[in-house]
Amino acid sequence: MMILQVQDVTKRFGGLQALTDVTFDLPEGQILGLIGPNGAGKTTLFNVINGVYAPNKGKIIFRGEDITGKPSYEVARRGMARAHQVVRPLHDLTVRENVMVGACFGREGHSLTQAAHKADAALAQVGLAARADQPSGLLNVAQKKRLELARALAARPFLLLLDEVLAGLNPTEISEMVDTILKIRDEGITILMIEHVMQAVMSISDRIIVLDYGQLIAAGKPEEVAANPQVIEAYLGDPEMTARLMGE
């Protein structure tokens, strides 16, 4: 079954066409990697999928239902959660309290007491249980990324949108986070992940889609996409990415 269907999605900001006729499907239980150069429209696509923006054209179908233009809080209630690219925890709240926010506004809409239990379970899942009572402002970058993931998980989603959760992490932290993501997938949560860390996204994704200037230029298995001349060309201005794509 397709958990998510994105059909002909176009999004304009004034004169800028950020997304043009983007179409793809995501089967339940898979990890789909979304890659593309800076400014390609990846985060904008997430914003359209989870209802931050309505598209100018096209449809978002989630679990068989048309959610196009529905507000984010309603999309969250239906079982779609998101970890943001720019992580901004509420610094005066503890780690647990931040994660409780996710449980309260998620699919199950918990009371505060239940939310605390759900938060602790999510913190254990991401390996942050020991920090539950600390103010979140004290966390380092890697811990803040885990907090953001826990907040999304506490919403008990069917579909998880991850926007660059590996950015800013060192190699050890990346491999720990990759293990965490695979465990989440094994529990039956479908994952759509935006990622610039090429080796990691290529190794854990079932399929990859590539955005360039707002258009989907490739879709397929990781090895097919990495060998696609159009994809390599899209990254040509970026020697580091080209080297990674070529498998260096």
Chain residues that interact with ligand ATP, rule: CB under 6 A = 13, 16, 18, 36, 38-44, 85
Least distance from ligand ATP to the Cβ atom of residue 88, Å: 15
The residue ranges that bind Mg ion (CB under 5 A) are 42-43, 85
Least distance from Mg ion to the Cβ atom of residue 196, Å: 9
- Cβ proximity of 32 and 193 under 8 Å: yes
d(CA 92, CA 106): 22
Query: Residue 94 corresponds to which amino acid?
Result: T
Quick one: what does residue 189 bind among ligand ATP, Mg ion, none, with the CB cut-off 5 to 8 Å set by partner type?
none
CA nearest neighbour of 24 among 69, 51, 60, 63: 60
Per the structure block, which two tokens stand in for 164? 């660059």
Q: Closest CB to ligand ATP among 44 and 68?
A: 44
Q: Closest CB to ligand ATP among 64 and 239?
A: 239
Q: Closest CB to Mg ion among 118 and 196?
A: 196
Phi, psi torsion values for 94, nearest 5 degrees: -70, 170
Conformation bin of residue 94: beta by default, left when phi > 0, alpha when psi is -120 to 50: beta
Per the structure block, which two tokens stand in for 18? 């950020």
Quick one: what does residue 16 bind among ligand ATP, Mg ion, none, with the CB cut-off 5 to 8 Å set by partner type?
ligand ATP
Q: Closest CB to ligand ATP among 33 and 106?
A: 33
Quick one: what does residue 125 bind among ligand ATP, Mg ion, none, with the CB cut-off 5 to 8 Å set by partner type?
none
Least distance from ligand ATP to the Cβ atom of residue 36, Å: 6
CA nearest neighbour of 37 among 242, 236, 235, 239: 235
Runs of H (alpha helix) within 50-134: 72-77, 95-104, 112-125
Q: Which residue's beta carbon is nearest to the bound Mg ion?
A: 43
Least distance from ligand ATP to the Cβ atom of residue 119, Å: 28
Per the structure block, which two tokens stand in for 238? 């970026």
Least distance from ligand ATP to the Cβ atom of residue 214, Å: 7
Q: Closest CB to ligand ATP among 44 and 125?
A: 44
